[in-house]
Every structure is written in structure tokens, then in C-alpha cells.
Amino acid sequence: MDIDARTSKLSDPLETLLGYQLRRASNVMMAELGSRLQAIELRPVEASILTLIDANPGCTQSDLGRSLGIQRANMVPLMVGLTKAGLVDRAPVGGRSQALRLTRTGIERLETVRAIIEAHEARFRRLFAPELREAALQVLRSIRQEGEGASRQDDPEQPTGD
Amino acid sequence: MDIDARTSKLSDPLETLLGYQLRRASNVMMAELGSRLQAIELRPVEASILTLIDANPGCTQSDLGRSLGIQRANMVPLMVGLTKAGLVDRAPVGGRSQALRLTRTGIERLETVRAIIEAHEARFRRLFAPELREAALQVLRSIRQEGEGASRQDDPEQPTGD
DNA sequence: TATTGTTATACTCTATAACTATA
DNA sequence: TATAGTTATAGAGTATAACAATA
């Protein structure tokens, strides 16, 4: 390294790598959302779960796990936490399944979650030229399909690194 | 949840969220790269480090940490591993700093790393319309700046969730 | 038998604090 | 004093295996 470089930033050949930039950008957004959600004592994954239950009342925690790429075993402490916090209600539905619904408190909390997420999204959406926004989401979805593979669309609990 | 929805996929209001899609896409790419790199017993972060040392011979591990968003303390086992694997050489340079360089083996290994990364990037770059590629990288970089804040450009070791 | 919820456990990644060695 | 490297440790997040309960 030359003398100048020792006191300034490194030359960074990773700057042009999609995978690297995706990861760093994702970490930034997750950290920002996490710090906003701390105000209501929720983590991003818990906000996602509340959002999904609201959109799919009666779903099971296995359903949620499949949708979010979280394994059954790892859903357990999450759902216990949300239930103990009084945000989610569980009712037996056949087999060992439990139908999930938001409690009144959960519905109220979700209102705040929505406001936080909307402000968070707006802050970063700004950075995309308007005509790029839908295309960007579409590409990100196609990356997921590339990894999750058409071959196991209904295959639950496949490790993806999520 | 209606009867049909109980056997099919959940309705997913997260599909339109940039943060969520970014995270899932990033996880897919990292998992794919990770599985490719297993063949040469390296993790993505180690591949990044080799790449950065090659581009900045003589840099310190603190330099690398700042560039990659990894804290000093967490760089230690990484550098010990790469040094023990005979890929990196460390030489005292003043203070407690050690100048880092790739060994001959490290340079050879980096050749393979480059081929793996290039194949990996190509697979996913395909999903972007050509005229979108540079714009996408630019937006991802701007997301990072948004999070890492112009106010602490030279501020090392700020937690970012990386 | 297949699926759901569960327990236990291990491994990776990241964060914090404190210590040392040197300029 | 400030910086680099280090140690120890704690907390997330995630992975695997096994078990119980019910359809």
C-alpha cells in the first residue's frame, strides 16, 4: 500500500459486486428499521409476523415460517413472545395446529408498526428514481426465486440462510 | 383465513416492501456464494478479505474492518484463520499495526475466488436488464450512505448491524 | 403416515468492555 | 493521548435432530 493509501480509504474492488452491495444495503435498512421498532419493543421479524397474521387471520405458525423462511423450531420462541406480550391469540384448530389472530392490542400495535414501516420505506424509496421502483422490487423477487428454486416451491423448511 | 387459503400460500403484504425484499434477496445471494465457496473452504467474508488485501497490500486488519463494517474484535479470529491457513502474511509496521499481504498460496487461492465470484455474479446479474445494472449498484451504494451517514465517514467501528 | 408444535443444542455472526503495547 | 491488536463474553439468528400429539 502506498503512503497516501495508508491514511485514506482502501481501494475497494467489492464496490461493483451485486452480492456485496445487496448485503450491505440490506444490513443498513434492517438496522434502521430495528432502531425505529425498538421504540415499541418489537424486532423487524416480529413486525413481519404481526403484518402477516393480520393479512392471514387463522394461519398457523408453520404457515408463517414457510412464508418468512424461518424454521418451525425457530418460530416457537417468537410466537411464545408475541403471545405472552398479548399481541397474538392462539386457538386449537385440529391436529396440533393453532389458528393465529391478532388480539385487540395486537391490532393497535400493528397500526404503529405500519406507520413506522411506511416512514422507513419512504426514506429509502426516495433514493430510487420513480420509474425504477417497481422494476427493482421485481428483480429482488426474481433473485429470491433463483435461490429458492422453482423445484421446491411447496417444500417447507429448506435452509436458505435466512 | 378462508378455506382455500389454508392450503395455499399466504397473502403476503411484505412483497412490496423494499427492506424485506432486499433482505430476502441478499440472503439468497449470500447462501449461494457460501455454498460455492465451500469447495475451497472459504466463507464469503474471507473471500472479501482476500480480495481487499490484494487490492491494498500493506493494509492493516483495522483498515479491513472499517471497509467491511466489521469490528476490530471480530477481525481477530478471521485474520488468525487466514494466517494459519497460509493465505495471508503479517509483518510489523510500527505501533501495533501489522502490514498484510497475500502469500503465494493466497494469491493462487484468490484466482479461484475470483472465478467463483464472477460465476456467481453472472448468474444473478442476468436478472437485471442491462441498462438497469449500473443504476441498481448506484442505488445500493446510496442506501449504504444513507445508513452510514455522511456525519461519520471516518468514524470507525460504528455498529451498523453488519 | 404426515404435519404441527415443541425441546434441546450447537454454530455463526455481531456487540461491548476491558486490557496491552506502541507511537 | 490515540490507535492497533487482543481477550472474553453475551446476544442474536439459524441449523439439526428428536419427540409428542393429532388428523
Query: Does the structure show a pLDDT above 90 at B81?
Result: yes
At A149 the pLDDT is 67
At A49 the pLDDT is 98
Nucleotide nearest to B156 (CA to C1'): D3
Query: Does the structure show a pLDDT above 70 at B157?
Result: no
The C1' atom of D2 and the CA atom of A7 lie apart, in whole Å, by: 15
Q: In Å, how far is A31's CA from the nearest CA of chain B?
A: 5
Q: Do A140 and B16 touch (CB under 8 A)?
A: no
Residue with cell 406480550: A85
Average pLDDT over residues B112-130: 97
Average pLDDT over residues B67-76: 98
| Continuous segment of H or E residues that includes residue B41 | none
Q: What span, in angstroms and rounded, lies between the C-alpha atoms of B144 and B121?
A: 20
At B95 the pLDDT is 83
Q: What span, in angstroms and rounded, lies between the C-alpha atoms of B116 and B91?
A: 29
CB contacts of A125 in chain B (<8 Å) are 18
What b/e string do you get for B116-125 counting C-beta neighbours within 10 Å, with b at 16 or more? bbeebbebbe
Q: What span, in angstroms and rounded, lies between the C-alpha atoms of A41 and A51?
A: 15
pLDDT tens digit sequence for A35-76: 999 999 999 999 999 999 999 999 999 999 999 999 999 999
Is the CB of B80 inside 8 Å of chain A's CB atoms?
A: no
Q: In Å, how far is B84's CA from the nearest CA of chain A?
A: 23
At A158 the pLDDT is 53
Query: Does the structure show a pLDDT above 60 at A86?
Result: yes
Q: What span, in angstroms and rounded, lies between the C-alpha atoms of A100 and B156?
A: 44
Question: Cβ distance B51 to B102 under 8 Å?
Answer: no
User: What are the distances in angstroms from CA B31 to CA A158, B28, B71?
Assistant: 12, 5, 22
Query: Does the structure show a pLDDT above 60 at B143?
Result: yes
Structural domains in chain A, CATH included, are 24-141 (1.10.10.10)
At A154 the pLDDT is 36
Where does B8-129 have alpha helices with state H? 18-37, 44-55, 61-68, 72-84, 104-125
Average pLDDT over residues B61-77: 98
Average pLDDT over residues B7-32: 94
Residue with cell 453472472: B122
**Residue B50: Cβ-neighbour burial (10 angstroms; 0-12, 13-18, 19+):** buried
**pLDDT tier at B6, thresholds 50, 70, 90:** very low
Ramachandran area for residue B58 (φ above 0: left; ψ -120 to 50: alpha; else beta)? left
Query: Does the structure show a pLDDT above 80 at A145?
Result: yes
Q: Which of B11, B101, B86, B95 is nearest to B54 (CA)?
A: B101
**What is the pLDDT of chain B when averaged over all its residues?**
90
Query: CA gyration radius for chain A?
Result: 19
Residues near A161 by beta carbon (within 8 Å), at least 6 away in sequence? B27, B28, B30, B31, B34
